[in-house]
Amino acid sequence: MELEDLLKRDRIIRVIGFDDAPFIRHAGNPVGVAGVVCAGTRFEGMVWGKVAPDGWDATEILCQLLIGGKFLPQLHLVLLDGICLGGFNVIDLPLLAQRLERPCVAVMRKLPNFIKIEAALKRLPHPDKRLEIIRRAGTIYEYPPFYFQVCDANPETIAQILTKLSDRGNVPEALRIAHLIGAAIVKGESGSQA
């Protein structure tokens, strides 16, 4: 069923939200990634994986966590907390949407500062390639309090869905819980900034 139909019929929308766990920069250790499955705002399950800090494997790891698993057939939408995991391990949003055969959305809390991003990327190998993958994700849509890039779905529909998926504050519940779990696993307790 299409996302627009789910909205019109007021059906429950199942999503997975991915966020990386806190990590120490330049330590070289793999970075934990929590994927939280929610039906609307209700927690239903999770996956856990690891990506290389500032690496190139984020898109592939997210695919490995879902393809062939029990959650993907149930999902209507994939949410990401930003377009990168583990620093600047950039997710190829169109490729992720194509491989998972689901709309994919990179949600941001505010508009990114591309001047700062480009300066940070210059400290890493292949900055132009990373920037190209970020740009491939497309237009950043503004539907305050939400800012996002989306592949394979209508931005207006996504803005409505993000509102339905948010219980407290301006973050969809799947992303909020993924953030809390990642922090708890690494630090022993979750933080207040979800």
- Which class in CATH covers the domain with range 3-184? alpha beta
Give the Cα separation of 78 and 72 in Å (integer).
9
Q: So what's the pLDDT on residue 57?
A: 98
Map tokens 């029990």 to a residue: 70
Query: Domain-by-domain residue ranges, the chain?
Result: 3-184
Identity of residue 71: F
Question: Tens digit of pLDDT per residue, the chain (194 long)?
Answer: 799 999 999 999 999 999 999 998 877 899 999 999 999 999 999 999 999 999 999 999 999 999 999 999 999 999 999 999 999 999 999 999 999 999 999 999 999 999 999 999 999 999 999 999 999 999 999 999 999 999 999 999 999 999 999 987 789 999 999 999 999 998 888 876 65
CA dihedral 56, 180, 26, 62 (to 10 degrees): -10
Nearest to 194 by CA among 16, 44, 17: 17
